[in-house]
Chain A
Amino acid sequence: MGKVIVVTSGKGGVGKTTSSAALGAALARNGEKVVVVDFDVGLRNLDLVMGAERRVVYDLVNVIQGEAKLTQALIRDKRLETLYLLPASQTRDKDNLTAEGVEKVIGALKQAFDWVICDSPAGIERGATLAMRHADVAIVVTNPEVSSVRDSDRIIGLLDSKTLKAESGERMEKHLLLTRYDPLRAERGDMLKVDDVLEILSIPLLGIVPESMDVLRASNVGSPVTLADERSAPAVAYFEAARRLRGEALPVAVPGEKRGFFGKFFGRKAA
């Protein structure tokens, strides 16, 4: 039985889709079978980030409505043969997702894959609540700024009340993935510090992904950042996060905290 992970945030534009693709690829690199499911019906992006947009025939809504078989809708990644994508429909809206349909699809995916990663849409409405409903583990993607942190806090509240795990009295395992972290801005005090975010959200930290041009570059060529350049700083952060997801106890380093000799001299630009 595979593990179902929901990647969620409340706020849009914080890096849910980027993180879903990057973590999916990082987990699949180990030979484990991974499927990344796009729940953002009507505004799908995951196919672009994973470079599969030209191979989409059937989608999640087709499967839920019985118009296609699950195996017809799954798209295998060209670079990693254990990585699959289940795209969302761009022409429908989120009302086409039914609770029973989602349950059936997730149940079938759990049988066939080691990891089922659900890329949640922004917001707290139907799409987002259905994406989180069947999850075993939640990854809350947050940027170090106040509005993102407050929205994440709201999502954590929903994870603790509106999911099957919560309703059956179990505790949902939650992890914080801090993305778009900019060490220079953090040092200047323009951004919330890691400790402040952790204090507000009080869930364990899965990783800190630095703000980087590599992320944008990777999504423009249709590749998860962990496949585009695996030695780039964000890729390294995602690989480490994936290892922590597997249960490894790996300390999290805050980017920019250990600075080299030259960093001390040239770290700050004169005003």
Chain B
Amino acid sequence: MTNVLTQPRPIRLKGRSFLALALTPEFPFEDWLVRLDDLASRSAGFFMRRPAVLDVSGLEIDRAQLRDLVGKLGARNVRIMGIEGARPSMLSPDLPPALSDGRATADIEEPAPDETGKTAAPPPPPAAPPPPKAPSSLVVTQPVRSGQSLIFTEGDVTIIGSVASGAEVIAGGSIHVYGTLRGRALAGTMGNASARIFCRKLEAELVAIDGFYKTAEDLEPELHGKAVQLWLEGDTFKVGSLA
């Protein structure tokens, strides 16, 4: 019997980034754990429901020591979701998985110590609210050539020119092509289902929004060469004429 695939819908695979607390233990671990306990006692539940990553880069420890440390943290309700900077020999399947390419963000604020018995420090001046962030967009005034890959995950991409066969445009937001779209256009790649693709002339090899894709073969032939917009409704592609 041959297996017949009754579900033609592909599995959605998407990348996503999260903010995690990174802990950098120091030698000797006993002292470090005492300081950690002190921090936790000042703020009950500081580690509760916070994903934490253990950064062991530069530490000369072996697997047993690492397992011991993860166990001791677990006993303090600090749940380690991943280990950064570990040599492959330090890891094993019963330990959290390795993480890499972490990017630093603003420090997570340590809970303030109890104010009792201290001179009241002047309250910090209220920080001005950050200015509303302008939606970022990228405008390209040249054609995107075959073999080129234009990646802009921060927002919309506008191309004044054509996207050649064999070229790809990857945008976090929508993609606008004032020319012929012959290559690939992948919009809303950071999990934005409301992103759209617009083009003057549709001859695309592949279009995708938020991980759902269609190849040229799946696109309705009557759309070929037309000025269209594509968007997502649920998990189906919708196409509208722009003419």
Q: In the complex, what's the smallest C-beta–C-beta distance from A200 to chain B, in angstroms?
A: 7
Give the complex CA separation of A146 and B145 in angstroms. 14
Which segment of A55-63, A90-98, A154-162 sits at the interface?
A154-162
Which range holds the interface residue count of chain A?
Answer: 10 to 19
Residues of chain B with a CB closer than 8 A to A202's CB:
143, 161-162
B147 touches A200 (CB 8 A): no
Chain A, residue nearest B161 (CB): A202
Give the complex CA separation of A158 and B161 in angstroms. 17
Within 8 A of B (CB), among A192-240: 199-200, 202
B131-153 to A contact mask, C-beta < 8 Å, 1/0:
00000000000110111100000
Whether A157 touches B148, Cβ cut-off 8 Å, given contacts A199-B180, A202-B143, is: yes
B166 touches A154 (CB 8 A): yes
- 8 more CB-based (< 8 A) A-B contacts, given A150-B146, A154-B145: A151-B146, A153-B146, A153-B147, A153-B165, A154-B147, A160-B145, A200-B180, A202-B161
Give the complex CA separation of A160 and B150 in angstroms. 14
Give the complex CA separation of A157 and B163 in angstroms. 12
A153 touches B164 (CB 8 A): yes
Within 8 A of A (CB), among B149-172: 161-162, 164-167
Give the complex CA separation of A23 and B21 in angstroms. 65
A157 touches B145 (CB 8 A): yes
A-B contact pairs, 25 of them (CB 8 A): A146-B165, A150-B146, A150-B164, A150-B165, A153-B145, A153-B146, A153-B167, A154-B145, A154-B146, A154-B147, A154-B166, A157-B145, A157-B146, A157-B147, A157-B148, A157-B167, A158-B147, A160-B142, A199-B162, A199-B180, A200-B162, A200-B164, A200-B180, A202-B143, A202-B162
Chain A, residue nearest B201 (CB): A199
Residues of chain A with a CB closer than 8 A to B167's CB:
153, 157
Residues of chain B with a CB closer than 8 A to A200's CB:
162, 164, 180, 182
Q: Is the interface of A mostly helix, strand, loop or mixed?
A: helix
Residues of chain B with a CB closer than 8 A to A156's CB:
145
B75-88 to A contact mask, C-beta < 8 Å, 1/0:
00000000000000
Residues of chain A with a CB closer than 8 A to B180's CB:
199-200
Chain A, residue nearest B145 (CB): A157
Residues of chain A with a CB closer than 8 A to B165's CB:
146, 150, 153
Residues of chain B with a CB closer than 8 A to A146's CB:
165
Chain B, residue nearest A124 (CB): B147
Residues of chain B with a CB closer than 8 A to A157's CB:
145-148, 167
